[in-house]
Structure 1
């Protein structure tokens, strides 16, 4: 059902990708609720492990704490809303809440990419310039990098919302299960050139730029690994594998989401398309604590030590 109207500012949006699943909605609700509980428990647990273990109070693990907090932030911007919508018969959302969700989801994406790029810089300095590591990665510098990551993302999203919210719209139906900025901009009857230019700049600065920087650091890291000793290679593999896996997983989800939002993918319609559109908001918060908790030996050992102490 498509609701058309004259050019105006709408008071609510209709999310049209929800389907009537009958009694299966309760099974969907249970699955999504369990996913959210696992995400919260696993990320909070890893945060506690790092906070209580003083030997892990190093730049790499502090950057990881920022990443874990972001996973909690991003998933909390989606899951409670998703749970309510699954049980609801009318899939509408107030315009103000829709833009709030856009702010949360998009700032989560921005923080994630910037945080991953900062973590790659940390690994680059540790592996390529080990003698300078303590001098370069001071506690002050770590704090500035983390604060800049979050502050830039929040400011960038505030500008994005300030450009999208005043648009005059000719419809209020969003073909998604949650609110997306581009989906709202596509409904506009007014000029959206400024939105499109800013969206392009935002994508370059927050997604493409960090990705290129991460690629550059890993080229340098690989060069050192191939020319270095076996212990150097082992250290690089043990600390860089989780980071690289997290980056590839998140990049896949974001790239699919960007393509899906801008092109009509008939082959990805229905439940499959909905699941894949939620991939970067569900799998990344699930995989991050598992990747770092299992693959990084010091965190793995600290987790086992904390569990033994509780037992």
Structure 2
């Protein structure tokens, strides 16, 4: 059963083309896709396993890493399996209900991930600017509450997208030139007026990306101000080194997201297959890179992962 009630007359099935113009190369394209997806799952599940097993890692920072890992798993899994079915078995059909459900989950997880990155910035701010009060300000229960608020925010932002699409008429064109049901890709094949859909998606993109980035930037401005007050250069480096992991994850997540949004709406000169490959990499690369980034940069987690690896 689908969570969306589709009452209007229209097609019961859409068809995803995969990557237009590169159909003959789908098998070859699937090789890096499947490899990156496999290692992203391996890395994120390893992080979840190590943190869940080791009691010393049951701290706010590592709870946030678990949230991020779950978001990364959800993002890649909402897109890659269907894309691989298209590449390997030419299973291009998808019911309207499944299409809208996929759209909801992939955008919902993306917004949730952005919320996690904002909470991580707040975590770094408290750790550096109020280190003596860190354990009282940021408890596991408070982090869980902030994560739940982020989850509800994501649902409220994203639920209108498939609901708005379900009211649009779909006439002769049932073909979506994409590997997954992205909101604007589906809206553009409608024969109805999609002005409100465009406006709403742009507003959500602005709120989620730019507002969240502004909150993160504010946190780092306060962090830099606090760091500059420290007396020694060694103290400066030690304080800033705790932020490098988070900054790397912000760069991998938001840079690809902004580029994907801008090319979809304003990059008319970009070839469709280039845009679709980049859109898929937006869901794949951060999920693959994040476990590597915080596995390398977080010493305590790196040591625990090495310990559990030796036991296997």
Shared fold per TM-score greater than 0.5: yes
Pair 1:121 & 2:114 matched: no
CA contact (8 A) 1:102 1:180 kept: yes
Q: Distance in 1 between matches of 2:64 and 2:51?
A: 11
**Does the aligned pair in 2 maintain the 1:26–1:87 contact within 8 Å?**
yes
> Partner of 2:34 in structure 1?
33
Give yes or no for the alignment of 1:183 onto 2:150: no
Q: What CA distance in whole angstroms lies between the structure 2 residues aligned with 1:262 and 1:40? A: 30
Q: TM-score, normalised by structure 2?
A: 0.89
| 1:11 corresponding residue in structure 2 | 12
d(CA) in 1 for partners of 2:301 and 2:90?
A: 44
Q: Which runs of 5+ in 1 are unaligned?
A: 1-6
Write the distance in 1 (CA, Å) between the matches of 2:49 and 2:153. Answer: 26
1:29–1:185 Cα change, 3 Å = closer
Q: What secondary structure does 1:42 align onto?
A: helix
Query: Does structure 1 residue 247 correspond to structure 2 residue 241?
Result: no
Distance in 1 separating the partners of 2:95 and 2:266? 26
Look up the match of 2:288. Answer: 286
Unaligned runs of at least 5 residues, structure 2: 1-7
Q: Given the alignment, which residue of 295, 298, 306 partners 2:297?
A: 295
Query: Hey, what does 1:4 align to over in structure 2?
Result: none
Partner residue in 2 for 1:227:
229
- Name the structure 2 match of 1:201: 203
- How many residue pairs are counted as aligned between the two chains? 302
User: Hey, what does 2:4 align to over in structure 1?
Assistant: none
Written as runs of structure 1 = structure 2, the 5 A alignment for 1:69-218 is 69-89=70-90, 91-170=92-171, 171-218=173-220
Residues 166, 269 of structure 1: alpha-carbon distance in 2 compared, 3 angstrom cutoff: same
Deviation at 1:187, TM superposition (A): 3.1
Cα-Cα RMSD: 2.1
In 2, the alpha carbon distance for the partners of 1:52 and 1:275 equals 37
